[in-house]
């Protein structure tokens, strides 16, 4: 840099003489040999290089300083660097007795994962249950169509009801001199009932029993699920209550580190080791209240809705036998002519059953010892007639039963 700066006057001087020589040659033309006089004064530019001598002295001083001072300075830095080189030897003796156990937080998380996996199954089944409801609705419609078809084709199908129309028909027949079927006997009352009677037929009792058993099964299952939900909430609430305060613990193993030596680096490492000893001898927070999740209470409205639906299903099952009678009422309202035929068939059926029973009882009475006494000698004819009258009264009593 020094030679480049101080060497500029010399280069400028030579540039001026070179320019003068070129101008001279251009002006003189054939006489350009006279321009050699300019070259004679060119050595005068060497006087301008005297300034370059001032760059030699600094370069000499710089090389001397580099030789005399650089090596001691590098050696000093190397010695300082070696102050930070150290060997660390650690001797650790472990005497640790551990017991494999799980914290309350881990147990609570496992319980929540199991409950979530169980509920995930019900969530997957929600769509199939929806389609199942549609299938059940279609099945109910088909059953209604089947009932109507049998109602119109079979006179004895679900024809056990002594309705008001039946009583009117019986009264009309009785007024015309026909036999009356009312009142019915106690034995017939077990089969033939009034539409608004609380008494159930055997078929209605079986249907009600099946419905009640099905609802009770679902009621027990729903009750167990609700009880399990509240049990899980109670367990999580107990866990939340137990770990409501910060759970702290100490390190089971303490490591002792000793630093030997003197110097700045030794003092630095002694301070680091002292800080580490303070940390490992202090308390460590295992479970913090900041990370604690509060369990949510089961939705009581959902439980109430579930109980209401199950209770409603139980009520429908208990009254299912009475609801089934509505099918006949609807069909009778839409098909009055067919209902009249069914009533006439039912009345004739009851009369035929009574006639059959009457004949059977008469044959039984004829074979009884009392009937044989009535057929004795002529002197006892009156007594025999009295015996026959007593047999007829007993027969009427049996029929009324």
Q: How many structural domains are present in the chain?
A: 2
Asked which of 82, 105, 123 is the last residue of a domain, the reply is 82
Q: Do residues 17 and 45 make contact, with C-beta atoms less than 8 angstroms apart?
A: yes
What residues form DSSP beta bridges with 192?
none
Residue 306: which H helix or E strand, with range? helix 300-318
Asked which of 82, 107, 141 is the last residue of a domain, the reply is 82
Q: Are residues 328 and 239 in the same domain?
A: yes
For residue 96, CA distances in Å to 194, 213, 375 come to 86, 61, 115
Q: Report if residue 9 sits inside a domain.
A: yes
pLDDT at 254 over 80: no
Strand 247-249 and strand 284-287: the pairing is antiparallel
Domain range enclosing 301 = 155-243+297-365
Q: Report if residue 226 sits inside a domain.
A: yes
pLDDT above 70 coverage of the chain, percent: 74
Which tens digit of pLDDT belongs to each residue from 187-214? 887 788 888 777 777 777 888 888 888 8
Asked which of 52, 82, 112 is the last residue of a domain, the reply is 82
Q: Report if residue 103 sits inside a domain.
A: no
pLDDT of residue 199: 78
Q: Are residues 319 and 199 in the same domain?
A: yes
Which tens digit of pLDDT belongs to each residue from 307-346? 888 888 888 888 877 777 888 888 888 888 888 898 889 8
Q: Are residues 185 and 61 in the same domain?
A: no
Q: Are residues 201 and 338 in the same domain?
A: yes
Q: Report if residue 209 sits inside a domain.
A: yes
Q: Report if residue 389 sits inside a domain.
A: no
Residues 6 or more apart in contact with residue 361 via CB below 8 angstroms: 395, 398, 399
Residues 6 or more apart in contact with residue 157 via CB below 8 angstroms: 150, 151
Q: Report if residue 401 sits inside a domain.
A: no
Question: Predicted confidence band at 288 (pLDDT cuts at 50, 70, 90)?
Answer: low
Average pLDDT of every residue of the chain: 75
Q: Report if residue 324 sits inside a domain.
A: yes
Which tens digit of pLDDT belongs to each residue from 360-401? 777 777 776 554 444 333 333 333 333 444 445 555 555 445
Q: Which residues of 333-357 are buried (b: 16+ CB within 10 A; e: fewer)?
A: eeeeeebeebbeebbebbeeebeeb
pLDDT of residue 287: 57
Q: Are residues 159 and 77 in the same domain?
A: no
Q: Are residues 304 and 191 in the same domain?
A: yes
Q: Are residues 332 and 183 in the same domain?
A: yes
pLDDT of residue 92: 54
Q: Are residues 320 and 239 in the same domain?
A: yes
Q: Report if residue 87 sits inside a domain.
A: no
Residue 321, class by beta-carbon neighbours within 10 Å (0-12 exposed, 13-18 middle, 19+ buried)? buried
């Amino acid at each position: 840099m020094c030679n480049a700066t101080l060497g500029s006057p010399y280069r400028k001087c030579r540039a001026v003489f070179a320019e003068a020589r070129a101008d001279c040659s251009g002006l003189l033309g054939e006489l350009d040999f006279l321009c050699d006089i300019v070259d004679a004064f060119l050595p005068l530019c060497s006087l301008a290089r005297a300034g370059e001598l001032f760059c030699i002295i600094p370069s000499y001083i710089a090389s001397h300083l580099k030789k005399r001072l650089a090596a001691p300075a590098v050696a000093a830095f190397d010695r300082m660097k070696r102050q930070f080189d150290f060997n660390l030897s650690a001797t650790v003796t472990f005497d640790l007795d551990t017991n494999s156990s799980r914290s309350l937080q881990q147990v609570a998380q496992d319980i929540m994962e199991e409950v979530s996996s169980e509920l995930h199954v019900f969530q997957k089944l929600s769509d199939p249950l929806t389609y199942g409801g549609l299938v059940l609705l279609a099945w109910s419609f088909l059953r209604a169509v089947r009932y109507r078809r049998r109602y119109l084709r079979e006179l004895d199908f679900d024809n056990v009801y002594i309705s008001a129309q039946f009583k009117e028909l019986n009264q009309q027949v009785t007024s015309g001199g026909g036999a009356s079927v009312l009142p019915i006997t106690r034995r017939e009352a077990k089969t033939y009932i009034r539409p608004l009677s609380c008494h159930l037929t055997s078929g209605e009792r079986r249907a009600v029993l099946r419905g009640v058993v099905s609802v009770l099964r679902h009621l027990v299952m729903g009750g167990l699920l609700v009880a399990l939900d509240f049990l899980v909430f109670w367990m999580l609430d107990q866990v939340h209550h137990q770990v409501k305060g910060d759970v702290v613990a100490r390190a089971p193993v303490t490591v002792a580190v000793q630093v030997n030596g003197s110097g700045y680096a030794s003092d630095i490492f002694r301070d680091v080791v002292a800080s580490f000893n303070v940390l490992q001898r202090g308390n460590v927070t295992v479970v913090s209240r900041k990370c604690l999740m509060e369990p949510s209470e089961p939705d009581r409205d959902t439980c109430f809705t579930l109980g209401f639906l199950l209770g409603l299903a139980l009520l429908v099952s208990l009254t299912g036998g009475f609801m089934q009678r509505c099918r006949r009422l609807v069909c009778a309202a839409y098909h009055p002519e067919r209902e009249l035929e069914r009533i006439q068939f039912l009345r004739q059926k009851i009369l035929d059953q009574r006639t059959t029973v009457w004949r059977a009882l008469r044959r039984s009475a004829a074979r009884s010892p009392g009937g044989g006494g009535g057929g004795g000698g002529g002197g006892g004819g009156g007594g025999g007639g009295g015996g026959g009258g007593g047999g007829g009264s007993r027969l009427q009593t049996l029929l009324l039963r």
